[in-house]
Structure 1
């Protein structure tokens, strides 16, 4: 790598075309200027100037190094200028969250990017453990998790709660939920189905639901593609439990019946990012959007 100080001295010398005046402009001695040029020539492995008294002519290699020095200084100045700015409408936005949240939030994020093309949205759908790893490795600047990481390297804030919904075919509206009904419908299974269903029935505050034996409910379908889980239910087949975000973002939302329990069942949602690392201003708009969306 070429020493930036040597490049600066060389660039100044080319533009002034006088060793003594270059030394004065850079607050150096003339021997110091000469030494910088010699070291730069050694690093380049080529003669850069042909001396003519206190003036000189550039060699072909010298012209190329001068052009490089100009480009280097311009890029350095641009970088320093950008580092002093914190534009809320420019730069990457990198977020890791669950698949259901990604499906729900991503269109909202893209709507913001459409308004501010200088932004670049990056969303990765992942389980809690991968989300934490992504933030730890700086793959994502922020993460949305339902379990707080134990490591002290993260700043953690409770950003909202996401409800779990028991969803059934529309014809089930108004019917009493019991073991017989759920056995008759059957469960549309997905990777988290049994966990979600068990939690929902246990925490809904209804004795009739908490007594239901989940292990006895037959499976009528299984799919691990989030966007397809609700399709059979919209067609009148089965039931399941999913986070609110997966349901309200579904194209079949209007074809579903969402049961209203006595007690809302929800997951606490935490926003995490690296501790002692202030988020750029452009993230403020997105964290507010997430918070507002969870409250709606």
Structure 2
């Protein structure tokens, strides 16, 4: 029982190969008539019997519905019998197609539209013809489904930042699924991720607020450093009073270079102390004199 099941599973996994002993009498008779027709119509039959496939093509030949022994033919010249042999060409070059934009709901419940590009080629022509009816359409449908499944397991932040990892994951999943069809997926690229307009505005506002916060922090750090520098400068100016005058003259020179009509001239209070002290002495002397004059008058 186990041997029979194993034999059946092996036949399903592998491409069925022709068995010459299973050919019936009717098929042999049809083959004989086809050879006879070629001989009778010679040399005109050569135009129908000899076919050519290009370097990048392979031909899968069927005789009365059975796959011919020897596998795919090509490149170059091959022979077919009229009326009983049919063949199908398979292109081995890399083919690319666009996956239509898919509406995907991410893991954090955000709806996005994502499209991609898939590159694939045929590595087993027999499987591509025998195993699947239309390998191209099947690969396209599978790519769209795989894109939705892979993106549904990711957050929006991962979708925007880890495109390369998502592409590799999608390629591995597609290659594993299409391997029985003889199709090899070479590359998958995420083209575009389109977000809703409201979400774009919210993300833009969040990014702008983040930039403003960083700008304020940088400005505050600059103020701290500037205040420390001014403190050190003031300590230097205390030891050398002429440094303040030189700094003042430098500021005045930079202001006058801009051709301003009004210049604010700061005057040090140290220069006014002498005049203020003299004025105070004068006022005290005057008050003393007035008191003296008033006392004499009263006497």
TM-score range, shorter chain: under 0.3
Which of the pair is proportionally richer in helix?
2
The structure with more radius of gyration: 2
More relative contact order in 1 or in 2 (CA 8 Å, sep 6+)? 1
Q: What is the TM-score with the length of structure 1 in the denominator?
A: 0.22
